[in-house]
Homo-oligomer: A and B are copies of this chain.
């Protein structure tokens, strides 16, 4: 009888918001990719490929990108402060450059206790000060360490801000289409109302303020309390990078429409056309706007992206501008229930924004590593873009920034029919076929939402450069075979 006892907690009676939540970046296809990886690891020889390549997620070190040496040296010393004892100096100085040793000493002094202690819930004050100095230098305008909250990756910060914004199910948040699905998933979890606005693919995924205004008015006329605008810049999955003048319009729009602005800027150093389209932070744009003291802005950054790519460490921060003082106190209370962001992530966040300076022993190597990674990412982005644009029925906007391309695919009727037969969306069908044929895992456009009747997928351009031509070749062959089969 025991085995037939119904469960207390079931999919039917659990939190319905969690049940309805979707997150395709690590969804069904990614789970299938892991199964295939396990099969290969267990010696399977019946698959048409010999490795699984995860292009579904911006996870550079998983694809063998080397971490930045200086950063890791400092963290390693902070973990093992015994190495900083005077009697070990003669040995340690042969393994670590002097500036890494000095930096680790300084960080441990700043923390004032072991890195194994809970820190201030907003993050160690001295580390926040480093971040504030970085922002001031980046933008030319000061930043207040007390307005900074260090977080376990940008995702955790975004979730906290969306949560505090959500008064009830009528609370509306403007999110771009296509969008990184953290936003839609979190709004579903919170029971808030996503208010989608569209980026225009043909003009390079540009953002038209007057289009968004129509969306806001329409949603408000239906009773939605639209109160915040999410902008991902550089774009994910789209790779666009906003122009400074466009950003001023967006700020004016936020002021006029009474919207808090959430600026997801985690790809701010992944900029591939820096002359034509440099990155401008929304903090800087705000400081140059007439309503600089009024518009409420929260901007997010992360150690997971850029050239540093320390995803697994979970570190990042958000900066609050013009937020109500009571609201920031509530943000502190929220943070305090989780005690603190992990201290190793906090340290890496501070290191990211205070790299070795010219003249420091580690400067040359740091520069070489950063430039090497940057140039390589840029080359790979251009190469993959060209590959996509050369495919039959595929068009792809360039990545001005980020780690992704988001090509549009036009599938033959027979492929659409086959997908319908399998009860799959056409882009999901295409991506499934790609995975099973090549071992390459990408994410269907439907995981990010897209204009009705269009189909896309998102791929990183992170496979190692030495294997990149082979990777591109697999995609080309797959696409040609797919088109031949279904034409």
Contact = CB atoms under 8 A, between A and B. Distances in A.
A383 interface: no
A60 to B, nearest CB: 8
Given A83-B95, A152-B152, A313-B344, A23 B333 contact: yes
B343 A18 contact: no
A121 B159 CA distance: 17
A11 B76 contact: no
Nearest to A10: B324
Interface in A131-173: 152-153, 155-156, 159, 163-167
Contacts of A65: 114
B67 A227 contact: no
A371 B326 CA distance: 46
Nearest to A14: B164
Interface stretch (A204-212, A288-296, A469-477): A288-296
A16 interface: yes
A259 B8 contact: yes
B342 A313 contact: yes
Interface string A4-29: 01011111011110110101011100
Interface residues of A, number: 101
Contacts of A185: 337
Contacts of A344: 313, 342, 344
Contacts of A334: 18, 21
A155 B311 contact: no
A248 interface: no
B113 A155 contact: no
Contact of A2 (B62, B79, B165, B291): B291
Contacts of A258: 8
A117 B330 contact: no
Interface string A342-386: 111100000000000000000000000000000000000000000
A309 interface: yes
A92 B96 CA distance: 11
A340 interface: yes
A46 B417 CA distance: 81
B336 A26 contact: yes
A117 B338 contact: no
A69 interface: yes
Contacts of A189: 337
A72 interface: yes
Contacts of A244: none
Interface of A: 2-3, 5, 7-11, 13-16, 18-19, 21, 23, 25-27, 34, 57, 59-62, 64-67, 69, 72-73, 75-77, 79-80, 82-83, 88, 91-92, 94-95, 113-121, 152-153, 155-156, 159, 163-167, 182, 185-186, 189, 227-228, 258-260, 291, 293-294, 296, 304, 309-314, 322-324, 326-327, 330, 333-334, 336-345
Given A27-B333, A152-B338, A153-B339, 17 more contacts: A9-B327, A10-B326, A15-B166, A15-B167, A18-B334, A25-B336, A26-B336, A26-B339, A59-B118, A61-B113, A62-B118, A92-B95, A152-B152, A155-B338, A182-B337, A189-B337, A313-B344
